[in-house]
Amino acid sequence: MEFETLPGFREFYPEACSRRNHIFNLWRKTARAFNFLEYDAPVLEPLELYIEKSGEEIVGQLFNFEDRGGRAVALRPEMTPSLARLIGAKANSLKRPVKWFNIGEHYRYERPQKGRLRAFYQFNVDIFGESGVGADAELVALLVQALQSFGLNEADFKVRLSDRDLWWLMLAAEGLDEAGSAAVLAVIDKLERMEREKAVEKLAENLGDDAEAFLQRIETVTQIRDFEGLKQFILDLPLEGDLLDRAQARLSDWSELLALLESAGAGAYVQIDLGIVRGLAYYTGFVFEAFEATGEGRALAGGGRYDALVKKLGGPEMPAVGFAMGDVTLADLLDSKGLTAGYAQRPDFIAIIGGPEERRAAMADASVLRSMGYQVEYPLKNQGFGKQFKEANQKGARFALVYGEAELASGQVKVRDMASGEERDLPREHIASMAADILASGLS
Ligand code: HAM
């Protein structure tokens, strides 16, 4: 073919489209179960919206260009900055907490590889206007339920839970200032994918000779998996005064969050893992990522608190927490577990037409049934009965409506149950009113 798709962009033939829509349907169903409202925002945004707000990593992956009006623009790599702007602009009139979701395509110029494309869909779910851990718990519970709705269970995926507030406290205890802490967190974010030597080198930029010992302390922290261990570790830090008070308050937030998640039935899925710090620039408190339970593969979803972003974009103070789940890694996981939904579109009725004379009667009935919402296949050209029945089988039609010369002469149509082969002649004028019964209970 002369014109190929761009690398990392997908075409969706009907079968792939139906698999994609199955994912969208379950995302939407879960969001509605938690009473979130759906919103949308532009696909093309001012480039500036992402500079600084999203952080270096995403800015390096932007699809950006100058439009014909000389504006610097970018295809959206994520939804969060647009959403924060929407919320900021209407903050005073929105009833809090604001609970919104979106399903939409996003674009990042990454190297296409397993689990990573250049155009992918995300399910974004966010809460604004609530700073308590109730909102964090609601979102982690929603994330777990969304993945469960596909038939996945605790043997298939885990949510790794971490906390940038605790990291700030730990780094303050190490004597790092804000800029130093931010630089060190960026290294911690990449630790799993970085050579150890390289990590020490990077850390030395802020920690000098202490980098090696520091990395060892970090490795201890990131191996903690239970709350008791975490609590002990934090309370053993050389914290005093305000820092100690903050650490104690934070541990009590942790304890409340974990208790809520346990009650929501999400306890078995949640794993404490301070190795997660999130690459995006705007996160402030609890952060989390969902992964395949084996730990292999790229993240299924990621998110956390970002209490400062709405204000940074010109809005008022507005606490916020949310996450996004991608369709690419999710579809891969569903495939590997045999949970991919089959291609299941089949007509309720198919018209089988004797000849040109019968075509109009069939069209009239099909049109009434279609306007009632039934799925009706109507042949576009004349063919023999045998060929038409063969096609009816191939299309998986449930009932055939046979328009032959004899039936029509007496105002009837022959209805055939394609599964059992059973047939009945029915008055054409009753087909519309009988359609629901026929589909529910067959012809007997
Ligand atoms: P993120 O971690 O950059 O977070 O992306 C969330 C999810 O989107 C990832 O876990 C992954 O499933 C999917 N994803 C990201 N990039 C790609 C890609 N190139 N190809 C395929 N899938 C991808 C955010 O985007 C935040 N804005 C989430 C958020 C919402 N935080 C608060 N609210």
pLDDT at 58: 80
Mutating to test ligand 1, I would choose from 9, 78, 102 the residue with most ligand atoms within 8 A of its C-beta, which is 78
Atom of ligand 1 nearest to the CA of 118: 19
Ligand 1 center from residue 409 Cα (angstroms): 63
> What per-residue confidence (pLDDT) applies to 349?
98
Q: 45-59, 191-205, 337-351, 355-369: which has the minimum mean pLDDT?
A: 45-59
Helix (H) or strand (E) holding 127: strand 119-128
* Nearest-5° Cα angle at 16, 11 to 17: 80
pLDDT mean across residues, the chain: 94
Domain coordinates of the chain in residue numbers? 14-165+222-236+259-336, 349-441
pLDDT at 297: 86
pLDDT of 55 strictly over 80:
no
pLDDT score of 206: 87
The residue-averaged pLDDT of 82-108 equals 97
pLDDT digit string, tens, across residues 113-145: 999 999 999 999 999 999 999 999 999 999 999
294 CA from centroid of ligand 1 (Å): 20
Per-residue b or e along 400-414, where b marks 16 or more CB atoms closer than 10 Å to that residue's CB: bbbbbeebbeeebbb
Give ligand 1 pocket residues (Cβ under 6 A). 78-80, 108, 110, 116-117, 120, 122, 124, 126, 280, 299-303, 306, 322-324, 326, 328-329
pLDDT higher than 90, residue 357:
no
> What's the pLDDT score for residue 296?
85
Give distance in angstroms: CA of 306 to centre of ligand 1: 15
Please give the Cα distance from 34 to 311 (Å, whole number).
27
Same fold, 14-165+222-236+259-336 and 349-441: no
Q: Which residue has the tokens 């945004």?
A: 45
Average pLDDT over residues 157-177: 93
Closest ligand 1 atom number to CA of residue 124:
30
What are the tokens at 96?
């809090």
Task: Give the mean model confidence (pLDDT) for residues 41-48.
Answer: 96
CB 344 within 8 A of CB 394: no
Locate 381 and state its tokens. Answer: 């050209």
| 116 DSSP 8-state letter | B
- Into which CATH architecture does domain 14-165+222-236+259-336 fall? 2-Layer Sandwich (3.30)
Nearest CA owner, ligand 1 atom 14: 326
CA of 302 relative to ligand 1 center, distance in Å: 6
- Mean pLDDT of the 297-324 span: 95
| Backbone torsions φ then ψ of 275, nearest 5 degrees | -70, -15
For range 3-23, the mean pLDDT: 95
CATH topology classification for 349-441: Rossmann fold (3.40.50)
